[in-house]
Amino acid sequence: MLRVRSGFPTSAGPWQNARMQSYRHRHSGLALLLGLAIAVSACGSAVHTAAPTNGASTVPGASTSAPPASASPLGSSSGPSAAGSPDQADQAVYAAIESQVEALRGLHATNVVKPVLLDSKGVSDWLTKANAEQTNHAALANDSRLLIHLGLLPAGSSLEQMELDLQAGQVIGFYDPVSKGLYVLSQSGGVGPLEKLTFSHEYTHALQDQKFGLDNLATDTVDQGDRDLARIALPEGDATLVMTLWSANNLSLGDLLSIAGQSVSGPEADQLASAPAILRETMVFPYEDGLRFVQGIYNKGGWAAVDKLYANPPGSTSQILHPELYTGHVEPVALTVPQVPAALGSGWKLTMQDTMGELQLRIWLEGNGGSASGSSAAANAVSSWAGDRIALYEGPSGQWAVVLHTAWRSTSGRDAFNQAAEQTLAALGSQYRICGDSTHVDIAIASSETLVPEFIACNTMG
């Protein structure tokens, strides 16, 4: 999952800080991670061979103070139980993993964290309850309309429902910074290789929270979606690196192959593959690109260098994708969007504004059916991103407009984005106009041709 306007959910960036606040671990996508862990085990290196994957998914989601009825703490006689194993034996397994993770990460628990096992219904119930209690439903509805206007979601889609459905099918574990609860999906109630792997990731989140305070990352700012997504990539990349190293050291080849077999196929993998790109890619980003970012820092300065990141977390997905921007202290350019044009009269409002960031703009240019070459071209077209601001305006009778202001670090970067945006906008079928100067590209999209000039004055690129 990713996050929501109140913390962390599973989906797109700028429009997703309206959701929940937990760290969730995805079911699908562990195969690459496990393939990596096997390679690490084979070559005897537990550090430099760890590479980015779309593996463990601990996602920001919702938070509640108590688990639903179908959840049970380890050793409980109700709900999922440790079938075929004494409760004390299961407790010992988790205790051993705790010690191993603490030694590996160099952090030590100051408070006891008791795992709670959930079956599939328990996970679904927990997510549904959290969504009802923690989600800003109006904000997510606004996000839905913006994504639809940009062509990132089909007409009539509900981002909130799509995220909830995706989370319910993908989550295999999560840590909740509010209740300090740690939850692991276990259909049988037992502690197998996948449950162990999941726990190593989620327990790392508990250690992060106790040491640094995950709430201090402030990933729930309503209009800072790109920054929020970048900050989520820090604890997720950290926990994914720990999980990768832990699995290489503590799981057998048979265990790894067993988990890989569970993750490469089946309905969960199909669900993730068929999800709109804006949901799928922002779900994977904190683990894959977050791992790459954190590992780069770790390889140069060890865990002490990673620890320092929490006092000065990344401020944009661009810094995650290009770590040299973070280490070089290159911050995003602050841009603004216009107020509702007076000429439009009453009935119009500025519904929402946010920052898309390099990642979301890349996904927008890629489209939902993108090829490898198309993805590469989109990545090149946004690689010199310096800042942006997007806004949704709505008026009477279903009229609407979207304004996107962008800044680029070079004229060539500006030109690359302009060309790619022209192609994307032409395919949308809406009315639009693009203009700008040597380092800026401004775009207006609207429901009718007469509205476009009200929101953008120029006729061509400068």
Query: pLDDT 10s digit of each residue in the chain, 462 long?
Result: 222 222 222 222 222 333 333 444 443 334 344 434 433 333 333 333 222 232 333 332 223 333 443 444 443 334 433 332 326 778 899 999 999 999 999 999 999 998 888 888 888 888 888 878 877 888 889 999 999 999 999 999 998 888 888 877 788 889 988 889 999 888 777 888 999 999 999 999 999 999 999 999 988 777 889 999 999 999 999 999 999 999 999 999 888 888 887 666 677 778 888 889 999 999 899 999 999 999 999 999 999 999 999 999 999 999 999 999 999 999 999 999 999 999 999 999 999 999 999 999 999 999 866 555 678 899 999 999 999 999 999 999 999 999 999 999 999 999 999 999 999 999 998 899 999 999 999 999 999 999 999 999 875 543
Give the pair of three-digit tokens for residue 2.
């990713």
What's the rounded Cα separation, in Å, for the pair 423 and 420?
Answer: 5
First-to-last C-alpha distance (Å) of the chain: 41
Alpha-carbon distance values, 83 to 190, 198, 199 (Å) = 6, 18, 18
CA 78 to the chain's CA centroid: 33
What's the rounded Cα separation, in Å, for the pair 426 and 317?
Answer: 26
For residue 289, give the nearest of 220, 233, 370 by alpha carbon: 233
**DSSP readout, 197-232?**
HHHHHHHHHHHHHHHH-GGGG----TT-HHHHHHHH
State the Cα angle at 386 between 382 and 387, rounded to 5°: 100
Element (H, E) at 403: strand 400-408
* 403 in Cβ contact with 336 (< 8 Å): no
Furthest CA-CA distance within the chain = 73
* 235 in Cβ contact with 214 (< 8 Å): yes
Q: Hey, what amino acid is at 325?
A: L
What's the rounded Cα separation, in Å, for the pair 11 and 152?
Answer: 12
Q: Hey, what amino acid is at 50?
A: A
Q: Computed over its alpha carbons, how large is the radius of gyration of the chain?
A: 22
Q: Hey, what amino acid is at 37?
A: A
Q: Is the dihedral of CA 259, 265, 268, 269 positive or negative?
A: positive
What's the rounded Cα separation, in Å, for the pair 352 and 22?
Answer: 24
- DSSP classification of residue 246: H
* 20 in Cβ contact with 151 (< 8 Å): no
State the Cα angle at 40 between 304 and 303, rounded to 5°: 5
- DSSP classification of residue 332: P
Phi, psi of 54 (to 5 degrees): -100, 40
pTM of the model: 0.83
Within 8 A by CB and 6+ apart from 70, the residues are 79, 80, 118, 119, 121, 122, 125
The fold adopted by the segment(s) 342-455 is top7, de novo designed protein (3.30.1710)
Numbered ranges of CATH 3.30.1710 in the chain: 342-455
Phi, psi of 28 (to 5 degrees): -80, 160
